[in-house]
Amino acid sequence: MCLILIAHQFTDQTPLLVLANRDEFYDRPTAAAALWEECGELIAGRDLVSGGSWFGTRGLRWASVTNFRESMKNHHSHRSRGWLVRDYLLSDDAPQDFLINVAEQGSEYAGFNLLLGDPHGLWYFSNSSAADDGPMRLTPGIYGLSNAQLDTPWPKVSLGKQRLQTLLESGTMEHDQLAAVVGDQRLADPEELREHGMGDGMDLLLSAQFIVTGRYGTRASTTLWTTGGGLASWRELSFDARGCVRGVQEQRFSIGEA
């Protein structure tokens, strides 16, 4: 039950702002965000089982993926959803061209949501059965994504979007404050979940923005923003099964049209 919030061209001072929580089983082998040997400009975490990633950037190219809650459809697909992030960041394809190819192979993946950005825009695509449209170019604004379609108003998504807009309006741009926008451990109101067809069991347990369950939870929280002056700031916090920080990776770098 991951969570991604994006402010896309919302202000001239901060053309891109992304906050992302990665939720996963604690026993799944993972490498923290770092520069990749395959490409010295690429910063991303790595899933050591499949070799893919959940969120990464290469200059002004960035990508993030979440699974889609609906189904066990192709649950054992031979294609890892993390490859979508990896392959886009290692390529020079425009987002729309990359997504056209992905759409043709969409049935070979378990359900996913994919966000791709480059210097020219932001794109979204989902292979879920609930998605009627193909790849969509997104207009400037604030967006939220969990494990349903983009901007589905799950409580954690709505709360995050409200907090992000308030923070942007305050002019604050610090990693700690940004991480707090997606760091709420409170469970959602069960009645709100039922309004979205979700139950009181695991749905309730996983309804918080930041999840701590012992076996499964928020393992990483990444904050990234770019400035109109061509600079970027990236930080990833890694967490243990108690929700305590066990690692910090931080990078500040100049960005070009990579």
Rounded Cα distance, 143 and 208, in Å: 18
The pLDDT value recorded for residue 107 is 86
Q: What is the pLDDT of residue 75?
A: 55
Range(s) of the domain holding residue 194: 3-254
Instruction: Give the DSSP letter string of the chain.
Output: --EEEEEES--SS-SEEEEEEEEEETTS-EEEEEEETTEEEEEEEEETTTS--SEEEETTEEEEEEE-TT--TTTT-SS-THHHHHHHHHS---HHHHHHHHHHTGGGS-SEEEEEEETTEEEEEE-STT--S-SEEEPSEEEEESSSSTT---HHHHHHHHHHHHHHHHT---HHHHHHHT---PPPPHHHHHHTT--SSHHHHT-SSS-B-SSEEEEEEEEEEE-TTSEEEEEEEEE-TTS-EEEEEEEEEE----
Which pLDDT score is estimated for 258? Answer: 41
- For the chain, how many structural domains are there in total? 1
Mean pLDDT by 10 residues, the chain (258 residues): 92 92 95 90 93 92 89 61 96 95 90 92 88 86 95 95 94 91 94 83 89 94 90 94 94 71
Question: What does the pLDDT look like over 208-235, one tens digit per residue?
Answer: 999 999 899 999 999 999 988 888 999 9
Q: What is the pLDDT of residue 256?
A: 59
Q: Write the CATH number for 48.
A: 3.60.60.10
Nearest to 208 by CA among 191, 189, 186, 193: 186
